[in-house]
Every structure is written in structure tokens, then in C-alpha cells.
Structure 1
Amino acid sequence: MGQARAGWIAGTVAGVLVAAGAITYAVAEDGGSGVEPPAADSADAGFARDMAVHHQQAVEMSYIVRDRTDDADVRRLAYDIAQTQANQRGMMLGWLDLWGLPKVSSKPPMSWMDMGDMPSKGKGSLMPGMATDSEMEKLGRLNGEQAEIFFLQLMTAHHQGGIHMAEGCVERCSVGVEKQLARGMVQGQESDIRLMADMLEDRGATAEPDA
């Protein structure tokens, strides 16, 4: 890796860490302003826990496809998604620590959105848009354009589910900075979906995987 590229990556990571620290500090300030931290069964806690899990799969998918293709555009998108969602995941887990709340709940995923009994789309699918175990395994077996297309299809569905969850937080969460992050997720993932639609079209594919 050249020094210029290494410096750019270091600068980007440093900027991400500064932003994460600022938002985490703002949440801490909310907690220190006389307002009680959210309850363990609140939408704030539920969103932070569930979206952290949701984001983790997006990070995993992104790193899988980066090893399965040489396409610069797909690799760049995957890197951006992995860095963004790993950073946001760290924020949400940090908030749970600040609030003194567990990172795992005894309630089913999505209970905070009254979707605890939602039917999963298959084994391994815990929340809206998440890939199943078999889909993750399939992605790991594909190469080249096939891997690119399947990744873009899976990530489009993943983002659509993430947007649904983030909009739920905007409606239900009470911590201002968390609602702000959720709004940013909606905007960022809608932008990604538009980009991925163009990338799929370039490859003669649509967002729906072949049966």
C-alpha cells in the first residue's frame, strides 16, 4: 500500500473516530442532564441492540465480497459500507454501556417495533432484510460478477430492512442523538440503494435474486 493511500485511510479512520466520539459524548451529556437513561425494554435500547446485530451482518457481507471480486467499484462500495456500519455499530454498543443496559435481550428481535413474532424469511434471518445462513454461504462460494450481483441484491434487501428499522426509531426513540443517527442511516442507505440499482443494471440484473 502506498504512503498516500495509507495516509488517506488513516485520515478517514481518524475522522470516523472523532465523529463517533462526539456523538457518544452527546449521548452521555443527555444522560447527565437530569434525564433518566432509557429503560432496557425501550425503543432506544431495542434499536441499539437490534441494529448492532443487523449492521454486523452487513460488515460481514462486505468483507466477503471484497475477497470474491476484483471490481474496483464493488470493492469500494463494500469498504464504505463496512466502515460506516462498523462505526455506527460501535456507537450503539457504546450507548448501551453508557446507559448501563445489556447488549442482549431475552425478548425476540424487533419486539421494540411490535414485530417480535414476525415470520423470518428463512433459517438465520432474524430481522427485516437480513440474509439467511444459506444466502451467506452462497455468497462465499461465488466469484467475479456472480458474487457482485448477489452481494448487491442481498445488500439492497439488507438496506431496505435497515431503513424500516431506522424509521421505526425515528418514530419511537426518545434520545435525540439516537434519532439523529437513525435519520442519517435512512438518508445514507437510500443513497446506497440508488447506487446499487445502477450497478445491478450495468450487470444486466435486478434487485430480486433469481429463484
Structure 2
Amino acid sequence: MTGPTGLTRTHWAAITAVVLALLFAGAATVASAGGGEDAKSLAPTATSADAGFARDMAVHHQQAVEMSFIVRDRTQDDEVRRLAYDIANTQANQRGMMLGWLDLWGLPKVSADSEPMAWMQKDEHGAHAGHSAGQQAEDGSLMPGMASRVDLERLGKAGGKQAEIEYLQLMISHHNGGITMAEGCVKRCTVDTERSLAQGMVDAQRSEVGLMVDLLRKRGAAART
């Protein structure tokens, strides 16, 4: 996809890949210098917002990658296929970064002791957050904006223009949910690199939401409310 928006997504994916390489290079340097245990002692705890965001957003991103591969095989539209590739590539790279951080911190990638979004359940005053964090929706979705089992089945059965509309509508909701989560990390996380990545997600996904709204309009459809 050409134009400023396409270049932004491509550059973001490239920058993410570079940061990922630097992250693991830095981790290797710390380990080789004998500072691995010191690094872990300064790492976030398993119940921290840093760890919770990394675990939950890795799952959130994985579904975006899955949906993008589904629509790639359900349409021949070059514009939508390029968008799906950009989203899959970017979010797969970011997912790798977050799982890498959990490894670096010596923390599990899956926590049986906490429900999804538990790290966003309380605000600074200890009150419960506004939406149903930590609770699974009746439609089977786990986190804000995630597609339900029914949604994924419908996308997998659609084809052509209908598949494009289904994908764009689902991905807009998915991005909006991801933005909410990323904003939560910007507010609550303590690791500067992770907060920077989260802010990058907010900026990039807002831009892509605008693009997807335009693509829906071209197809005589609109985002779901």
C-alpha cells in the first residue's frame, strides 16, 4: 500500500524488528557479563502491570495475526491483503518482544493465578476499573475488542467483499480494545521501554483504525458500534 499511511506501518514494523534485535542483544550482554541475577532482581513481579500487559497483549496480538491470515486466504483484494500482512507482521514482531521480556524477567508467559486483564482491574485509588477486566465475556472473548468464537467462524466462512467487511469491522474493534490496553500500560507500567512500545501501539493502531474506516466506507459499510 502506497502513501504516508502505508509507509508509517512499514516503518513501524521495521523499527520494531530492530528494537527486538537490540533487546535480545542487550540481554545476551547482561548474561555474559554475569549480571543475569542482578537483572532479574530488578525485574517486574509476576503480578505487576508490566508482566500482565506483556502476557495479555501477546494473546491479543496473536488473534490479530490469526484473523489477518484468515482474510488473506478469503479475498483477492490487494489493498486488504497488504493491510492484513502489515498488521500480522507488526503484531507478530511486537508479540515476540513481549514474550522476550517475560523470559528476560524470569516470569511465566501464562499465569494460572490471575485472570486476563487483572492488572487493569484497579485504578490508582484501588477502585475497580470501568469495564469487566478479568472477566470473560459471554460470547467467549477474553479481552477488550477480541473476536468471539462466533466472529472467527463467520470470518472463516465469508469470502470476497463480505470477508473484507467482516475483517475490517472485527479488526477495528480489536484495535480499539488494544488501544485501551496499551493506554493502560502507558499509565501503569514502570519499564520505560515497555511504556514506549505501548505508546507506539496507541499511535499506530489509531492511524490504522482511520484507514480501516475509510476502507469500509468504500465498501458501503461502517464500523460496528
TM-score (norm 2): 0.81
Aligned to 1:19: 19
1:53 aligns with 2:59: yes
CA separation of 1:27/1:111 partners in 2, compared to 1, >3 Å: closer, same or farther?
farther
State the shift of 1:25 in Å. 4.8
* Residue range with higher mean Cα deviation, 200-209 or 177-186: 200-209
Residue among 161, 177, 184 paired with 1:161 = 177
Structure 1 residue 17: Cα displacement:
3.5
**CA separation of 1:207 and 1:56: change in aligned 2, threshold 3 A:** same
Corresponding residue number in structure 1 for 2:104:
98
Counterpart position of 1:112: 119
1:24-173 residue pairs with structure 2 within 5 A? 24-25=24-25, 36-106=42-112, 107-114=114-121, 116-118=133-135, 120=137, 122-123=139-140, 125-173=141-189
Deviation at 1:13, TM superposition (A): 8.3
Q: Aligned partners of 2:99 and 2:205: how far apart in 1?
A: 20
Deviations 1:150-178 (A, max 9, x none): 00000000000000000000000000000
Alpha-carbon shift at residue 122 of structure 1 (Å): 0.9
1:51-102 Cα shifts (integer Å, max 9, x gaps): 0000000000000000000000000000000000000000000000000000
Give 1:33 shift. 6.9
Give TM-score, length-normalised by structure 1. Answer: 0.86
Q: Secondary structure at the match of 1:102?
A: coil
Please, which runs of 5 or more residues in structure 2 have no aligned partner?
1-11, 31-35, 122-131
The total of aligned residue pairs comes to 197
Query: Cα gap change, 1:86/1:143 in structure 2, threshold over 3 Å: closer, same or farther?
Result: same
8 Å Cα contact 1:23-1:177 kept in structure 2: no
Partner amino acid, structure 2, of 1:18: V
CA contact (8 A) 2:67 2:167 kept: yes
RMSD of aligned Cα (Å) = 2.4
